[in-house]
Structure 1
Amino acid sequence: MSQGQNFTKGKILMPLVKFALPVLAAIFLQTMYGAVDMLVVGQFAQAADVSAVSTGSWLMQLVTAFVVGIAMGTTILLGRKIGEGRAEEGGRIIGASIMLFIIIGVVITVIMEAFAVPIARIMQTPPEAFDATVSYVRICSAGAVFIVAYNVIGSIFRGLGDSRMPLLTVAIACVFNIVGDLLLVGVFGLATAGAAIATVLAQVLSVVISLQIIRKRKFPFVFHRKDIAFDRKRMGEVFRLGFPIAFQELYALSDFLITRFSHG
């Protein structure tokens, strides 16, 4: 298995482009879950269900953008330490990242589950689609931990210089999401709930595949379960590095959403 790009030796431009393109493609595919849900629901369900999926998927895209941005902090910090020749710190960085994202995953799930109704009101959800929107958000929120888990694992791959594996796993999950939507929405008629369940199951699949691959991956450092600890310093570094990226993504998406829903 390829051990990834090395940016400390030789030419930089082409290896950087080859590294960046799969990252962009993976992020794009992650945002496609909602679009696929809308297309399938539009074919087999009512207009209110399409509206519910549209509103709910935009909200979940905000969550995904935040998690992706913060996860980039792990990629940056891990890649930096390996590039500096201090790969032995890799295990502690991964452990601190896992702990940080456990906390983030729990917080996101609790907030989304508890405040799904007021959030749907803020997003000016049409009355006929309100209950379906809340249901979609709550089902997807139950799988927020898998959004977090996938992006943590993906950030580790990228920190090791391998951006292709995260793309492969999310591509497989997207295909599974399409199949799940067609089955649950088209065959079983579960409409909005079916689309949300298919999305969650696709995210579960991406995590399972990623875990199986990364277990076989040879690290340039030692990682133990004891490394998963509340390491305030390294957790802070990961968050500090990732937050500007997350903020930029959230700002761009929220600006679009404000424009969209203020005219909707």
Structure 2
Amino acid sequence: MKKKTAKLSLFAITWPLFIEIMLYMLMGNADTLMLSLYSDNSVAAVGVTNQILSMVIVMFGFIATGTAILVAQNLGANQHKEAHEISAVSIGANLVFGLILSAAVFVFSEQLLNLMDLPPELFDEANSYLKIVGGFSFIQSLIMTISSIVRSYGFTSDIMYITIGMNVLNVIGNYFFIFGTFGFPVLGVEGVAISTTVSRIVGLLAAIYVMKKRIPGSMPLSLLFRFPKKHLQNLLHIGIPSAGENLSYNGSQMMITYFIATLGTQALTAKVYTQNIMMFIFLFSIAISQGTQILIGHMVGANEVELAYKRAMNSLKLAIMISIASAVTASFFSKKLLGIFTDNPSIIELGTILFLLTIILEPGRSFNLVLISSLRAAGDVKFPVYIGILIMWGVSVPLSYFLGIYLEMGLVGIWIAFIADEWLRGLLMLWRWKSRLWMRKSFVAAK
């Protein structure tokens, strides 16, 4: 297995990741596009609710991220027994955590939505969606964990195929519940929530099958709920700081979404439509960053730190070039792209301006995506968190309020704040990587 994973190139690992992430984004866009034919208010309701659910996913991510890094490093160091044990512990830990968090979201869904200052006309639909999808979000925690394990072994294409199947099921379910095909009840947002949950359940079953088929040797199932101190500490040591950066980002985004909600439903809808399309612009950078993380994890585990340094820099250059080209192309076709979702001229006009600003925004985002993933894979997990908290809450949130609300620049002002946030953090991550301080961090092969 070491030979097989070691010889994987960035392209071999990344292209299935690219397809997988694109399909996840398509799943969200399928919900948005189909609901846009049903009601713009439904789109806004799901958009705000997904902001809360993103926070939940980030909470699950701290174990999944730690799993991906530790399994990759152990495989690079040819320590397969350790990799198996870490995999078993991570699955059990995220299942328990997922059940607790899912129950909390279900019980306190109304209170969570009240924190977002949601317009009254959106509340009922948003609450219904949050209770269903949030209440079953533990399914996603297991999918994330198992997917991280399988990817670390180099089988990224298997997870891609599972995602394809989930997307197909989700779209079919949406069609039935939104348009009442074959006698299905027209349930709107509630139907989309049911469709999303069912597709995830099927995806989980497929992921379990792939894990059992692909990973050599037997996984110690006795460790699923025993949580040995050594492995759990290592997972949390890497995972909690890693998730901290994402948690800070999503928390700041929730606060900014609160600002946008005060601008009205039209502003919220414009944000949802624009960001749904923007996701496809930084899709390339996300795939490259995840593929790079897997490779650097193996390299660090094998003590090939200079090779890891060059890999990250080359990945960064590639991500920047692709993100600029994608942003320019999307901006050129912005009116047509927005026209897929809405015929509201005000939303289209505002979205067109936001796409122009995205040309400046996306290269900065590439720095963060690629270099933060590289630092995590090398074991330098705390620096991105400290800088993230400082810049997001010290620059992004207050600048969003100052430009967007106080100076009444609306979404344009908020997008300018996003640009300042991404570029400042990104340049600091570049300094950290070039300083090579991460090379002094402990990793599996040195233990």
Specify if TM > 0.5: yes
CA displacement at 1:5 relative to structure 2: 4.9
Residues 98-137 of structure 1 correspond to what in structure 2 (within 5 A)? 98-137=91-130
- Structure 1 residues not aligned, in runs of 5+: none
Q: From the CA coordinates, give the structure whose radius of gyration is larger.
A: 2
- Structure 2 residues not aligned, in runs of 5+: 262-447
Aligned residue in 2 for 1:223: 219
Matched, 1:54 2:81: no
Aligned residue in 2 for 1:23: 17
Indicate which of 237, 241, 245 corresponds to 2:238: 241
Distance 1:29 1:124, change over 3 A: farther
Q: Which has the higher contact order (CA 8 A, sep 6+)?
A: 1
Aligned residue in 1 for 2:163: 170
CA displacement at 1:86 relative to structure 2: 1.5
Distance 1:68 1:56, change over 3 A: same
Aligned residue for 2:37, secondary structure, equals helix
Q: Deviations over 1:77-123 (max 9, x none)?
A: 11211221221223321221112102220121122112111110111
CA displacement at 1:199 relative to structure 2: 0.6
Aligned residue in 1 for 2:5: 6
| Counterpart amino acid of residue 34 in structure 1 | G
CA displacement at 1:196 relative to structure 2: 0.4
CA displacement at 1:17 relative to structure 2: 4.2
Contact 1:116 1:138 (8 Å CA) reproduced: yes
Aligned residue in 1 for 2:72: 79
Contact 1:90 1:223 (8 Å CA) reproduced: no
CA distance in structure 2 between the partners assigned to 1:27 and 1:63 by the alignment: 18
Aligned residues: 256
CA distance in structure 2 between the partners assigned to 1:132 and 1:114 by the alignment: 16
Distance 1:113 1:4, change over 3 A: farther
CA RMSD, 1 decimal: 2.3
CA distance in structure 2 between the partners assigned to 1:248 and 1:18 by the alignment: 28
Aligned residue in 1 for 2:211: 214
Aligned residue in 2 for 1:202: 199
CA displacement at 1:159 relative to structure 2: 2.0
Distance 1:100 1:157, change over 3 A: same
Aligned residue for 1:161, secondary structure, equals coil
Distance 1:202 1:98, change over 3 A: same
CA displacement at 1:142 relative to structure 2: 2.3
Q: Deviations over 1:14-65 (max 9, x none)?
A: 7134324433553454354433222212212x34322221211222223223
Contact 1:66 1:246 (8 Å CA) reproduced: yes
Identity %: 21
CA distance in structure 1 between the partners assigned to 2:250 and 2:236 by the alignment: 20
| Counterpart amino acid of residue 199 in structure 1 | T
Contact 2:2 2:78 (8 Å CA) reproduced: no
Q: Deviations over 1:132-181 (max 9, x none)?
A: 21111010022212101111110110121222222221122112111111
* TM-score, L = length of structure 2: 0.53
Aligned residue in 2 for 1:157: 150
CA displacement at 1:4 relative to structure 2: 8.8
Contact 2:35 2:188 (8 Å CA) reproduced: yes
* TM-score, L = length of structure 1: 0.87
Stretch deviating more after TM superposition (198-207 or 163-172): 163-172
CA distance in structure 1 between the partners assigned to 2:144 and 2:80 by the alignment: 21
Contact 2:72 2:153 (8 Å CA) reproduced: yes
Aligned residue in 2 for 1:148: 141
Aligned residue in 1 for 2:435: none
CA distance in structure 1 between the partners assigned to 2:117 and 2:242 by the alignment: 28
